[in-house]
Structure 1
Amino acid sequence: MEKEMIHTYCLQLRGTTYDYQEEWQADRYHIGGKMYAMIGGNATGRPVLTLKCEPARAADLRESYDSIIPGYYMNKTHWNSIYMDAEDVTMEMVENLIKHSYELVFSKLTKKVQQAIQ
């Protein structure tokens, strides 16, 4: 999976804002001021994409894919990290997981913020 493809996909989702967190060296994507995706690196610098995920689905994904781990530096119940050099995860799957993360975060926003985005 390529960073530029992920960046382009995230920015096409309605209301997405982007920033770069210098101290984390991470690209972050938000909806309504809440983060739903982050591209950064683990302790060794290996690139990871971190996404919010419904807890049961998150656990299933971790069991099914070696390249999906509990969210790096995030709440391990609600976030997964995917190694970006993974060969067992397709770009189509990554897009589906990004969309899932976006929708989870969007659903938790206030109705007023949701309406402003739509």
Structure 2
Amino acid sequence: MKYGWLDEYCLSKQGANKDFKIEWNAIRYLIGGKMFAMQGEDKDKKAIITLKCEPPFGQFLREQYQHIVAGYYMNKEHWNSVYLDGNVPDDILKQMIDMSYDLILNSLSKKMQKEIIRETSD
């Protein structure tokens, strides 16, 4: 896989963990029990990662990179899928992961956010 750093990068986020969802045949990266990234395949068995983005930024990325498409099996406005055999630069993919993580973290209750930050700083 072109993005060999992907798993380690997602898991380096504060409080992040992963599981494998059998019925989706996909690895999910979670924060506070909510998914911020999903690595799996599309209907043609092509490897993808799906990430949440601010809608205008996601639209901009889809216009700039042919290997970024509206979220596969997800809300097409908020989620984007990146083909892992494509030409999306590492720094763009990392920016997308960072944004997705931050959006999900900020959607959690303030109490849960503090617990996650406290857990990882102990």
Aligned equivalent of 1:12 = 12
Q: Which amino acid aligns with 2:101?
A: Y
Aligned equivalent of 1:92 = 91
1-side partners of 2:17 and 2:108: how far apart?
15
Aligned equivalent of 2:115 = 116
Q: Which segments of structure 1 move beyond 3 Å, counting only runs of 4 or more?
A: none
State the percentage of identical aligned residues.
Answer: 44
Please give the per-residue CA displacement for 1:82-107, whole angstroms capped at 9, x wherever unaligned: 000012x1112111110110001111
Q: What is the aligned-residue RMSD (CA, Å)?
A: 0.8
Mapping for residues 1-118 of structure 1, pairs under 5 Å: 1-2=2-3, 4-87=4-87, 89-118=88-117
1-side partners of 2:94 and 2:110: how far apart?
25
Q: Which amino acid aligns with 1:39?
A: Q
Could you say what secondary structure the match of 1:14 adopts?
coil
Could you say what secondary structure the match of 1:69 adopts?
strand
Shift of 1:64: 1.0
2-side partners of 1:101 and 1:23: how far apart?
23
> Which runs of no fewer than 5 residues in structure 1 stay unpaired?
none
1-side partners of 2:6 and 2:18: how far apart?
12
Q: Which amino acid aligns with 2:60?
A: D
Question: What number of residue pairs does the alignment pair up?
Answer: 116
> Which runs of no fewer than 5 residues in structure 2 stay unpaired?
118-122
2-side partners of 1:93 and 1:55: how far apart?
16
Shift of 1:66: 0.6
TM-score, normalising length from structure 1?
A: 0.95
Could you say what secondary structure the match of 2:24 adopts?
coil
Could you say what secondary structure the match of 1:28 adopts?
strand
